[in-house]
A and B are shown apart, each in its own frame.
Chain A
Amino acid sequence: MFVSGKPGLWVRHGLLCLALAVSAAGARAEDGKAAVHIDNFAFVPMELKIKRGTEVTWTNNDDIPHTVLAVGTNIRSKTMDTEGTFIYKFDKAGTFNYICALHPHMKAKVVVTE
């Protein structure tokens, strides 16, 4: 994926992912699912708000592998290569800060409400 060299495309792509994630999060009441994408060394959205019981799917859109790791929890993915995914169902309310264990400057969070 070479969007990094094309800011316009990157922004559009980012917004698209954000829109998808928001709509997915918005649809959780019905299907209990939400999505986070990894684009250009960033989790999108960086803050995901969901209801307890929601299943979140992370998808890596980068050419470089990434992981999902929330220190001190059991939220820990295996290495996700390009197009790799990780699914985690949030059964507890709270704020879950997480990083990519390979690129720990990639920080994001999931906020789970009752």
Chain B
Amino acid sequence: MTDAPENQDRRGFLTCMSWAGAAAVWSISGGIPTSRLIGSAEAAETKGFSFAQVSDSHLGFDKPVNTNVTGTFEEALKKVTSQADKPAFIIHTGDITHLSKPKEFDDGSQLLKATGLQVYTVPGEHDVLEEDRKSYLNRYGKGTKGDGWYSFNAHGVHFVGLVNVIDLQGAGLGTLGKPQLEWLEKDVAGLTASTPIVVFAHVPLWIAYQDWGWGTADGAQALTYLKKFGSVTVLNGHIHQVMQKVEGHVAFHSARSTAFPQGVPGVAKGPGPMPVPAGELKNFLGIRKVTLVTNNTPLAIVDTSLAG
């Protein structure tokens, strides 16, 4: 999507959004993104500090749409580590596992560890199916607050990992909750407005599609704390397809799954796994690479399908 007029309504955005496709590069300048489809060779030319995003590996899922989610996750991670300019670390935006089972978590930890890269995670709703959420928190909760939220700095960028999959009720959307919102407000209060911010969470922080619960009820509240910053990038998973939009200086991006695609709003009857023609699955799965280009546009985002 290029040159989106500022007065474009939401319907207009929905129409021109890219739901799925081949690799796309995202350069964000002054809050306005431009995108184009690219080949992987061109993507590799982007230099600078970069990190990779993987999402929704759903280890343990074994239904016909993808009977080898371990294999496709491994393939996605190989795509990450084989980049010419290796990403500094990996962010997994949740649903590491399908059913929060210890074996699923163990498989995930093993595959992530094998990359040799630092890994940052936030849980998806599939990772916290147990009452006490221990399987997730024992592995990834160290040094985090509450249900697993935290922040860190890397290369001048402030990263914030948020948890919006606990106690999903009422409104039908993800929630952050008051303690986390209060923490976020304090966490970013001392930062200068020129600090690039990257927020990552499982469910989209914006209302991507309310009928299917694809949004966060109090996401707008979180964004008010980020108003002063000139560059805010929000990364999500959950919906298993590429979707993006820009509001002022905030750019929202949802990533593909490494396991299976989900239905497209307005087309599919429901948000479940979407069957795709034999041999085309990898066109719908993928990874994302985000690069900070010094003295240039703040962030460049490249989505690469597993087939690409």
Residues of A within 8 A of B (CB): 2-5, 7, 10, 40-42, 62-65, 69, 71, 79, 81-82, 99, 101-105, 107
Contacts and interface: CB of A to CB of B under 8 A. Distances in A.
Chain A binding surface, main DSSP class: loop
B269 A7 contact: yes
Nearest to B172: A105
Nearest to B131: A78
A99 B169 contact: yes
9 closest pairs, A vs B, by CB? A105-B172, A41-B270, A105-B213, A40-B270, A63-B63, A104-B172, A2-B275, A104-B168, A79-B129
B53 to A, nearest CB: 22
A105 B212 contact: yes
Nearest to B170: A104
Given A4-B263, A5-B275, A101-B169, A65 B129 contact: yes
B129 A64 contact: no
B169 A65 contact: no
A10 B268 CA distance: 11
A83 to B, nearest CB: 11
Contacts of A7: 269
Contacts, number: 71
Given A65-B129, A102-B125, A104-B213, A41 B99 contact: no
Chain B binding surface, main DSSP class: loop
Contacts of A5: 268, 274-275
B126 A65 contact: yes
Given A4-B274, A104-B169, A105-B213, A65 B268 contact: no
Given A82-B63, A105-B213, A64 B273 contact: yes
Given A71-B169, A104-B169, A105-B172, A64 B272 contact: yes
A23 to B, nearest CB: 24
B171 interface: yes
Interface string B255-287: 000000001000011111111000000000000
Given A65-B129, A104-B172, A105-B172, A40 B269 contact: yes
Interface residues of B, number: 29
Contact of B168 (A10, A62, A101): A101
Nearest to B213: A105
20 contacts: A3-B269, A4-B268, A4-B269, A4-B272, A41-B270, A41-B272, A62-B272, A63-B63, A63-B65, A63-B273, A79-B100, A79-B129, A102-B125, A103-B172, A103-B213, A104-B168, A104-B170, A104-B171, A104-B172, A104-B213
A64 to B, nearest CB: 5
A103 B38 CA distance: 35
B235 interface: no
A2 B268 CA distance: 11
A2 B278 CA distance: 14
Nearest to A7: B269
B211 interface: yes
Nearest to B211: A105
Contacts of B168: 101-104
B169 A40 contact: no
Contact of B172 (A3, A4, A42, A107): A107
B208 interface: no
A104 B173 contact: yes
B288 interface: no
B270 A4 contact: yes
Nearest to A71: B169
B146 to A, nearest CB: 19
A7 B270 CA distance: 11
Given A65-B99, A79-B100, A105-B173, 10 more contacts: A2-B65, A4-B272, A41-B272, A42-B270, A81-B99, A99-B172, A102-B126, A102-B168, A104-B169, A104-B171
Given A4-B268, A102-B125, A103-B213, A79 B172 contact: no
B98 interface: yes
